[in-house]
Structure 1
Amino acid sequence: MISDRIFGAVVTLVALAYIASATQIQTSFLSDPVGPKTFPMLIGAVAAICGIIVVLRPDEDPEWPQLQTLGALVFSVIVLVCYAYALKPLGFLLPTAVTAAILSYQISPRPVPAALAGTGLSLGLFAIFKFALGLSLFALPAAFHG
């Protein structure tokens, strides 16, 4: 319960600081009747209300994951960061297949189904993104297509 209360207090303080910074927005003479300050102030007010509710009505103390689970999460984040950096030089298919296979293996440690899932996701997502959504993706590294 204490972690929820701390989180709620931090959210409330950040929301109040956000509202205070929204009051500093300069308005031009050609602004709409609501003005540019209203939307950020509404967002800050909703966040402050949510933070206060969390402080007043916290959940039971959570059961934090074991160290092994936290290590798996950190590893997943590292894999996803490497994926983001690998997309441009290596194209879409290879990095997506490898990343999806690694993450699938973490969910169910069976190598063949993980590799098939990675390959299937890579090809399926490429088809959806390239042909259905019209995104300009490169399937392979730039060196392969000049």
Structure 2
Amino acid sequence: MAADRIFGAVVTLVALAYIASATQIQTSFLADPVGPRMFPYLVGAVAAICGIFVAIKPDENPDWPTLRTFGALCFAVVVLVGYAYALKPLGFLIPTAITAAILSWQISPRPVHAALAGLGLSVGLFVIFKFALGLGLVALPAALTG
């Protein structure tokens, strides 16, 4: 129980530091309608709420994941870091489709369903972010679009 309380406190402190660092994001007069700070604020707020919940109500008898689960989590982190680096040169659609398909395959190892989930998430998120939220996303790499 003490480990859960310490973990919850650390997550809460890191989330608050993340929110504080998001206040330093520079905005220009040509910023997106949502603004560049809103997403980090939301992520930090959700993380802080989760950390507070874990600190207040820890699990009495936690089951630790197996080594295989830790390996899958490390693989997912590597995929997401690669996704972050691939967004700028490759645009939004291709890296999002590949990343979503890989992560979907990790959840349920059915290749066809994972590929369809990746494509659907990529196109669906692009439509939401580009047209509903008005974000300035680039769909494909410049080499493909000319």
Q: Same fold (TM over 0.5)?
A: yes
Does residue 122 of structure 2 align to residue 122 of structure 1?
A: yes
Q: Which residue of 2 aligns with 1:77?
A: 77
- 2:112 aligns to what? 112
- Cα gap change, 1:60/1:138 in structure 2, threshold over 3 Å: closer, same or farther? same
Identity of aligned pairs, percent?
72
- Aligned residue in 1 for 2:39: none
Structure 1 pair 58–82 and aligned structure 2 pair: CA distance change class (3 A): closer
Contact 1:3 1:61 in 2 (8 A): no
Offset at 1:132?
1.0
Q: Please tell me the root mean square deviation across aligned C-alpha atoms, in Å.
A: 2.6
In 2, the alpha carbon distance for the partners of 1:5 and 1:131 equals 42
Change (3 A) 1:58 1:86: closer
For 2:95, the equivalent position in structure 1 comes to: 95
Cα displacement string for residues 96-136 of structure 1 (whole angstroms, at most 9, x for unaligned residues)? 00000000000000000000000010011111111111111
Match for residue 30 of structure 1?
Answer: none
Number of residues of Structure 1 aligned to a counterpart in Structure 2:
107
Gaps of 5+ in 1: 19-49
Residue 64 (1) aligns with residue 64 (2): yes
Deviating beyond 3 angstroms after TM superposition, the runs of 4 or more aligned structure 1 residues are: 4-8
| Unaligned runs of at least 5 residues, structure 2 | 18-51
CA contact (8 A) 1:93 1:122 kept: yes
Structure 1's 77 and 131: CA in aligned 2 closer, same or farther, altered over 3 A?
A: same
Of structures 1 and 2, the larger Rg is shown by 1
- In structure 2, what is the Cα distance between the partners aligned to 1:88 and 1:132? 21
